[in-house]
Amino acid sequence: MRKNDWILAGCILLAAAALMVFCLQRSRQGGTVVVSVNGEIYGSYSLSDDRTVQINNSNRLIIENKTAKMEWADCPDQVCVRHREISRDGESIICLPNQVVVTVQSEESPELDGIAQ
């Protein structure tokens, strides 16, 4: 392998890393928070509107600065309260005792299917 090969590989890796950072930052934008209790959808809320969501008097979710955070839960373990705030597509907070699942979804649903083999 020549020196130029290593430089090329480095440049490609750098470009990929830059793109990855760019995409992660972009995926932060927008999106909705979907709350489901016991497998049924309780409600969906936009990440861009700051609000507090009371979930069945058992959990309280706060949406602020385009992130969502579980502020309070009546369960003993408090795992969901200690979970860091979520904002990116696919991230979720789960409160197992109350069967509350909070997921971030992108506004547009993915359109990819298995055309390319």
Partner 1 sequence: MKINKVAVFGVFTALALIFSYIELLIPFEFGIPGAKLGLANLVIILVLYKTDWKEALLLSVVRIILSGFIFGSLSGILYSLSGGLISLAVMALLKRTDKFSVIGVSMAGGVSHNMGQLFVAMLAVNTYAVSYYLPVLIIAGLITGTLIGIAAREILKRTTALMLR
Binding residues for partner 1 (CB under 8 A): 1-2, 4-5, 8-9, 12-13, 15-17, 19-20, 23, 27, 106, 108, 110-112, 115-117
- Strands of the sheet containing 32-37, edge to edge, are 40-46, 32-37, 100-105, 92-95
- For partner 1, the closer of residues 9 and 96 by Cβ is 9
Taking the complex as a whole, the smallest distance from the CB of residue 108 to partner 1 amounts, in Å, to: 6
- Residue 104's nearest CA partner among 46, 51, 50 is 46
Shortest CB 33 distance to partner 1, Å: 19
For residues 61 and 53, is the Cβ–Cβ distance under 8 A?
Answer: yes
Q: What's the min distance (Å) between Cβ of 64 and partner 1?
A: 25
